[in-house]
Each structure stands twice: as C-alpha cells, then as structure tokens.
Structure 1
Amino acid sequence: MPTPFPLLLDVDGGGWHPAAWRRSRTAPEAVLTGARLRGFAVTAQAQGLTALTFEDSPLPDARNPVGHLDAVQRAAFLAGTTEAIGLLPVAATTHSEPFHLAAQIASLDHSSAGRAGWIASTSPPAAARAVDLPVLTGEDARTELADVVRTARALWDSWEDDAVVRDVATGRYVDRDRLHAVDVDTGRWSVRGPLTVPRPPQGQPVVAVRAQDLPAAGADGVADLVLTGDPAARRTAGGPLVVVEVEFALDTDAAPAAERIAALDADAPAPRGERVRWSGSGEGFARFLQDLAGRVDGVRLHAAVLDEDLRQLVRTTLPALRVARLLQPPPSGSTLRSTLGLPRPVNRFSTLSGSPA
C-alpha cells in the first residue's frame, strides 16, 4: 500500500499572489474574520489534508492590505474547532523572546490535543529595527534561530511527563522534583527555566524550518521538517523530513491558470521566490504531486487565490490523489507527530529522577 503523502496548506491572506485579495470572494475587511479562517480549516480537514500553516510578519505585506493577525493566535483559534488537522504557525526567532515562544507553542499543543507545530523563521532586518533589537543577518540570524529552537526544546522537556500530580488531599499540583532548570545565556538573551507550561502532549511539537534559515552546521537538533523549494532535495538517513514548497494556480471554468496569473500580474506582478511554481489543470497537478511523492516526504501548498484554487483543488486534484491512495485523513485524536510518522521524543531529563519518558 502506498504511504500517505503529507499535504500542508497555507491559509494566509488571499493567497500567495500579491493581487489575490482582488479576486477573493471575501471583501477586504472580512479577510481577517474567524468565519473565513474556520471555513478553510473545515474544508481542509474534511478533505484529509495533513496540516494548515499560517504565515506571519511584523512588517506590512502587500498580500494583506488590511493588516495581519498573529499566526499563533490564528492557530489557537482553530485548535478548538478542529479535531484532526495539524496547526503550524510561523513565529520568528530574531525578534521574539525564546521563553515566550516556547510557552506559546506548548500551549497550542495542549489546546489542540497534540496537533501543534512551529515554523521557526528568521526575519528581515527591518523587523528587528521595528522593535529596537540588534539586526542579525546571514549566518548570525541562522545561528540565532538554531539557539532559540534548541532552547525551546529544552524548555519543553523541563517538565517531565508525570510532573503534574494534582493531589487534592495535600493541595500539591506539581512534583517539584520532576521540574528541571534550563539555563541558557547566548550573550544576546538569556533563559532560566523551567517553563511555565507542562510538557506538551507530543513531548516536542513539530518544528519546521526553511532550508535557507538553517545554519551551516545543518538541522541536527533543530528541525523535524525542512521546507525547501528544491524538488530534487532528499532526506539524509535519520535526518528531518523534506517538504517541498509549491505555489500553484489551477485551471477554472472561467479561465485557464495561465490567463488567471496574467490577470493577477497585471494588477501586481508577483516576484519570483524560492518556491516551486506550478500552473495548469487540477488533474495535471495531481500527477505532479504523485511524482513528487516518490522523491520527497511531503508538500506545502500555497494557492495563488485561496477562494478559487482551493475549490479547484478539492474538485480535481484531491480525488485523483485519493484514487492513488496518497491522501489519507489523519485519524481523529492522532497527534501531528504520529500523522507524520515521527516518534514521540524521550524527555532529556527523565533519567535524572528515574521516571519513564
């Protein structure tokens, strides 16, 4: 039987194209409403997609002219209204406190019953300037990201799995012997734990990092997923899963994909990024994804216009993937790690007190 192929869908703004909001069926002032976000989530979950992702930036974004809501908050909003699909917000490491990031993602994992992830990213220099922080670029920014992620992982382990005892008779909530201090000082920031949130249900929420944000030393101890625009990328033995980023536009009843993109470009030309870009029929897109499924571990989908391309994806591409048995819904109650085939990590501190991981 073919192995299920993880499909992640980004649901930020109107779509990846900067003019997508002009083609949206949603009025600009309604783009940020919970009802619209919930509609995408319900559709994606019903169709068996693996996870939703939520882009973010502290800077103005031409794709979202009415503004931007915090990605972690959007994911948290959906935690209680979904039951199987994973939730991976982008949260930058170059202008956020590591302790607060770790607490936010741990809280998201608790509220979603183990379906949280985190796309750890660097930020452009202007983002650091906006909050009066030192500007980090190049390898310095990538090293900072690795330091923040490794610190967050240590903080998630700072509570052992059985640290919470809730002993009503003695009024004791936690076994303090099963809490462990994390002490990190990079010279730029310092953290002293334990975290203020118990260990997440997954032990370690899934961490994704863009390939260009990884330090030269690689992803060891940093990423569970590497997001890349290189469809020829391969996973190394024991390394993180490789997920290809794909921007897509599909033929609709009204116009072929090429005409749709040309009309969008006439309003606001889309710069070429590092993602794969694909356009054509929904059936052709299914064949493209089936070919990728034999070479990489998953795909993160970015629709040109969410309102139009998600509808075509549901009508044409996803049925073909079901026939090929590549699209299988995450079971209700499963964690994101288990859906992706990732083991639950052993707590690094558990042997100190002799407790099981």
Structure 2
Amino acid sequence: MTTHRYMHLALVIGDAGFHQAAWRQPDSGVERLSELSLFQQLAQRAERACIDSLFVADVLGSDRTNHASWPTNQLEPLTLLSALAAVTRQIGLIATLSTTYTPAYTLARQVLSLDHLSGGRAGVNVVTSRGGQQLYGLEQLPPHEQRYQRAAESLEVARQLWDGWAPDAILGDREHGRYADPSRIHETAFRGEQVSVHGALPAPRSPQGRPLVVQAGTSEAGRDLAARHADIVFTMQSDAERAADFYRDLKQRAVAQGRRAQDLRVLQGVTPFAAASARQAEALQHALAELTDHRQALQRLSSLLNGIDLTGQALDRPLPAALVQQARQAPPSTAASEMLALIDRQASLGEVAQRLVASRGHWTPVGSHDDIADQLQARFDAGHTDGYVILPAELGASLDGLLDQVIPRLQQRQVLRGQYRGNTLREHLDLPLPAWQPPFQGKQS
C-alpha cells in the first residue's frame, strides 16, 4: 500500500466510441468491431499509458432499432477480455455480468478463471439489467427490489466460493501423490431468498485474493450493495457538487458496513474532448454532433424518459412541464436522472438529446490538453472522486489527445503513476489483499 494518493483510471472499450455517431467517422474502425486486432491495439496502448484497467460494458439483448444508427455490444465481455489477457501483461480486465441472468456459481467460476489466466487482473462489474428477460425465457423482468436482492446474494455466494480454497490448500506433493488437502477446501452452503448454492469451485484462490467487484447503480439499493460488496463504484455524475455528495455518501455507507473508506474506490465516468487548443476540441465535439441522427436521438431520449411522446416538440426550447411530469412517473435509471437534472436547468430538448447520444449523461469536459488535465485534477484534488472511468467519444483524435497528451501531463504532475507498481489489479488500485474467510456453513436468508 502506498501513502501517496494517485488518481485511478479505467478505459471503456468494446465499440467504436461512446458517441452514437462516432462510427460514422472515416477512421472509426467500425468495420473491425468484431476483430480482436482492434481491441488488442487499444489494450496495448492503454497498458503503455499505465491505465489501471480495461472496462467492457454490456447491455443484454439486441435492439434492432438501435442498430439502425449505432453499432454496439457486439462481443461478449468475458470472451473479449480473456483474449486480451493473452496479449497484455499488467493492465486490469473488468467484465460486465448480470446477476439477474447469470447463476451465482457460473459468475464466480468464470470470473475466477479470467483472474487466474490473467495473473490476478480480473474484476466483475455486476449489473441487475433493465431488459433482455425474454432472451432468458422470462416473460417479465423481476421487480427492482428482487433483482438487487439476487445481486447481493450472488455476490455473497461468489465471495464464499472464491474463498473456498484456503491459501495453503495446494500441497503439490508429487512424491506421495497428494495434490491438495481436502480439509483445506471448504464447500459453500448458502440458501437465500433468490440464490441457493452448495459446493465448491474446482480452482484455487485468486492470485489477488479475490477478483475485484465493481458496481454502478446509484439507487438506494445500488448504493447499499456497493457499500457492502464493491471494491470500485462507477458513477455517472456530470455536476461537480453532485459528484462530491455521491462520493461522501458512498464512503460513509462503506464505513457503516464496517469497512475502511479508503478500501472503496469511487470512479466517475468522463467523456473528454481534448485537443491542442480549446477551439480544436470544440471542433471535434461539433463534428460528431453534425453526424448525429437526431430522429434516433429523440427516440432514445423518449425511451429513456418513460416513453414520453416528443413528436412535434421544438428542439430549441425546454420540454413542457406536463411531459417532464410524465417522465418522472416511472423510477428513473441513472442516465434518466442525469437527463432530468439537465431538463431542470432549462436545457433545450435538442441539448438534452445531444447530451444523451454524446455521453449518456456523463461529465463531458471540452478543452485543450492542459485544460482537461486541470479539470480532471481539480475534481480529484477536491475529493470528489478517486479517479475516472474514461468513456472515449471516439477512437481517433479525442482518445489520442487523452492517451498521448493529457495522461502524460498528469503523470508529470505525479497525480498519476508513471509505471505499474505490481502485477494485480488490486495492486494497481492500492487496495489490500483481502483476508481469507472460510465459507459460512449453514443456511442464510
């Protein structure tokens, strides 16, 4: 553990960029979205920049309407990251999995396998999903509370399974033919309201103790889940004051769970536009805005805001109060909450739709390389975040500006590490090796 506080970074990969229109640029690489070579090059560039981890987001299910204007989610996260583990040496690998559809034992085994294959670099971003149920034989999505209860039970089961093998379980005694000591391999016996598992994994404990757990929900249930189980919280907070409030709240909840505040990393999502000058950065942003399919943008916004009818609404005016009230009738997602906050500040309909397709509500600083470095450092130094999940708008100029100019500036200031100081994801994040806890024997509810 280092005493110096370093900013932590994760880079989201998996598509042609976070902006809905990024793929339309001539050099977007959209033709290669199903090719390993594209992501291999991105991973190796990120590793040269000493970014802590790669992060693959995922949405289960395929919406044909979205594909009309936006290629996304083509490759399954664990498969992609397993391939990238073979062509990288140190960068962390975080995959998104849904506890609503993935059995707890399967989740625990798959993530632990990636962790071993990568030498202790794996993490899992746990989501509860907002759709896709019919792909898994369900007519209806389970209620919100039930999905979060299942997530909490799945994570507890995963922790127990990951600790099933004691650190000294493997004997490796060739002479006497004893590979492992069965008394040091403990079965999990868990029976909850949503999850029941009895048994053990066939693989030993992780090189980093346990794979890291990431959680991204901002609801009360999501925050409680993160405070109890997460090593990293990925948050969407475009406003600095709201980001600071969220940061303090998560740290306090972690302490209330008996944890140390510094053992939970809160990383804020950011989609930066960085160039040699502020004018050039604004031109990058404007070029993507010009390529945006506004009809599709309004459809996405309508879907996000409880299906409100935006037909005939003026793009240069705020939404009428009646439509805003209708949008608030359904429990909002994190992205919807960010859009509603923008609406409350009297942003025009066109501005809100453009923000959705550009960053989906994440913070979007625009400026010179020095400007962006200053802004990222300011929120970090102010204690609003432990670092950032970088969601590049596109894979060309704006990502180049970040990797080749902004990150070196932060490293020169000693805000970011200039080299890895270990081989595991926990070491990159300055998180302690978790103490081994044998699985609880008995029923839990």
TM over 0.5: yes
Q: Are the aligned partners of 2:33 and 2:74 in contact in 1 as well (CA < 8 Å)?
A: no
Point out the more displaced range, 311-320 or 70-79: 311-320
Match of 2:437 among 330, 334, 348: 348
Distance 1:333 1:80 in 2: 18
1:132 aligns with 2:156: no
* Cα distance, 1:200 vs structure 2: 0.9
1:139–1:215 CA contact under 8 A, matched in 2:
no
Cα distance change, pair 279–122 in 1 and its aligned pair in 2 (3 A): farther
Check whether the contact 1:8–1:51 (CA below 8 A) recurs between aligned residues: yes
TM-score (norm 2): 0.73
Alignment of 1:72 onto 2:99? no
Quick check: 332-341 or 84-93, which moved more?
332-341
CA–CA separation in structure 2 for the residues paired with 1:274 and 1:139:
24
Q: Which residue in the other structure is 2:40 paired with?
A: 38
1:12 to 1:216, Cα distance in 2 relative to 1, 3 A: closer
- What's the CA shift for 1:148? 1.0
**What amino acid maps onto 1:119 in structure 2?**
N
- The question of 1:250 aligning with 2:277 is answered no
Report the secondary structure of 1:102's partner residue: helix
Question: Structure 2 matches for 1:46-61, cutoff 5 A?
Answer: 46-60=48-62
Query: Which of the residues 367, 388, 395 maps onto 1:306?
Result: 395
Q: Pick from 74, 97, 106: which aligns with 1:100?
A: 106
Deviates more, 1:300-309 or 1:204-213: 204-213
The alpha-carbon deviation at position 81 of structure 1 amounts to 1.2
* Other-structure match for 2:6: 4
Query: Residues 15-34 of structure 1 correspond to what in structure 2 (within 5 A)?
Result: 15-23=17-25, 25-34=27-36
**C-alpha contact 1:202 1:335 (8 A) present in aligned 2:** yes
Corresponding position of 1:206 = 212
Preserved CA contact (<8 Å) 2:274 2:401: yes
Provide the C-alpha distance between the structure 2 equivalents of 1:299 and 1:190, rounded to a whole number of angstroms: 36
Contact 1:330–1:339 at 8 Å: present in 2 too?
A: no
Aligned partners of 1:146 and 1:215 also within 8 Å: no
Match of 1:283 in 2: 370
Which structure has the greater CA radius of gyration?
A: 2
Partner AA of 2:265 in structure 1: L
- The equivalent position to 2:186 in structure 1, one of 164, 177, 180, is 180
Tell me if the contact between 1:71 and 1:89 (Cα under 8 Å) persists in the aligned partners.
yes
On the 8 A contact 2:281/2:368 being kept in 1, the answer is: no
TM-score, normalised to structure 1, is: 0.90
RMSD: 2.5
Amino acid at match of 2:206: P
More helix per residue: 2
**Alpha-carbon distance in 1 for matches of 2:228, 2:170:** 27
* Residue 229 of structure 1, CA deviation: 1.7
CA distance 1:247–1:136, change in 2 (3 Å): farther
Aligned to 2:129, the other structure's residue is in SS state coil
Check the 8 A contact 1:49/1:329 in 2, yes or no. Answer: no
Q: Distance in 1 between matches of 2:208 and 2:396?
A: 33
The alignment status of 1:123 with 2:210, answered yes or no, reads no
CA-to-partner distance for each residue in 1:244-270, whole Å, 9 max, x for gaps? Answer: 111223347696233123223346535
Shift in alpha-carbon separation, 1:211–1:53, aligned structure 2, 3 A = same
Q: Does 1:90 align with 2:115?
A: no
Letter in 1 for 2:236: G
Distance in 1 between residues matched to 2:42 and 2:366, nearest whole Å: 21
Q: CA, structure 1 residues 333+251, in 2 after alignment: closer, same or farther (shift >3 Å)?
A: closer
Superposed displacement of residue 177, structure 1: 0.4
Q: Percentage identity across aligned positions? A: 29
Q: Which amino acid aligns with 1:166?
A: G
> CA separation of 1:110/1:330 partners in 2, compared to 1, >3 Å: closer, same or farther?
farther
1:260-284, CA deviations, whole angstroms, 9 ceiling, x for partnerless residues? 2322334653563342232333321
AA aligned to 1:83 is R
| Structure 1 position 329, deviation (Å) | 4.1
State which of 386, 389, 413 in structure 2 corresponds to 1:297.
386
**Aligned residues between the structures:** 351
Query: Structure 1: 5+ residue runs without aligned partners?
Result: 353-357
